[in-house]
Amino acid sequence: MDSRKRHIAKTITWRIVATGTTFVLTMIFFREDPEATSKASWVAFIETTIKMVTYYYHERIWFNYVTKLKSTVRHLLKTITWRVIASLTTFGIAFFIFREDPNAMEKATGIALVESVLKMLFYYLHERAWYMSKFGLNNPK
């Protein structure tokens, strides 16, 4: 059985990968904004705060209620459900922070779409790595 320590560690490692990716994408899409670095930092900070909590609960729900699926199918479905939640959140945060940009809607959409593809790949690899790890398991097999 998994421990909460494991889920917290997964949350932290995923946030490092995901927030770094979002920061870089935000800098690319809003590069002409003179305050792009500061605003991208705010996007990353707000995203980290919100998504640490939502990711933890996403992890707990999958652990407690979705247990009968084969591991690769389960990891793929977890990847998709998390990506939908996370991309909508990123879109909302980026749009809000850059709302004065006349193309904020298009750029925030671009970030959400590109991150969807990249982060689904990264998340799947993250899940597979954690599946192979024994860290935080109460009864490792």
pLDDT at 4: 80
- Span 107-128, average pLDDT: 91
Examine residue 35 and state whether it is found in any structural domain, yes or no.
yes
**In this structure, are residues 96 and 72 in contact, taking their beta carbons and an 8 Å threshold?**
no
**In this structure, are residues 138 and 2 in contact, taking their beta carbons and an 8 Å threshold?**
yes
Backbone phi, then psi, for 93, in 5-degree steps?
-65, -50
Examine residue 140 and state whether it is found in any structural domain, yes or no.
no
Assign 124 a pLDDT band (cuts: 50, 70, 90). confident
- Span 1-14, average pLDDT: 81
Mean pLDDT of the chain: 89
Q: CA dihedral in degrees (24, 127, 129, 121; nearest 10)?
A: -40
Provide the CA 69 distance to its chain's centre, in angstroms: 22
Assign 33 a pLDDT band (cuts: 50, 70, 90). very high
pLDDT at 1 over 60: no
Assign 69 a pLDDT band (cuts: 50, 70, 90). confident
Provide the residue range defining the domain that includes 95: 4-132
Residues 6+ apart with CB under 8 A from 25: 111, 114, 115, 118
pLDDT at 26: 95
pLDDT at 51 over 80: yes
Examine residue 139 and state whether it is found in any structural domain, yes or no.
no
Q: What is the C-alpha to C-alpha distance for residues 73 and 67, in angstroms, rounded to an integer?
A: 11
Does the pTM exceed 0.85? no
Q: How many separate domains does the chain show? A: 1
**In this structure, are residues 21 and 118 in contact, taking their beta carbons and an 8 Å threshold?**
yes
What is the rounded end-to-end Cα distance, in angstroms, of the chain?
10
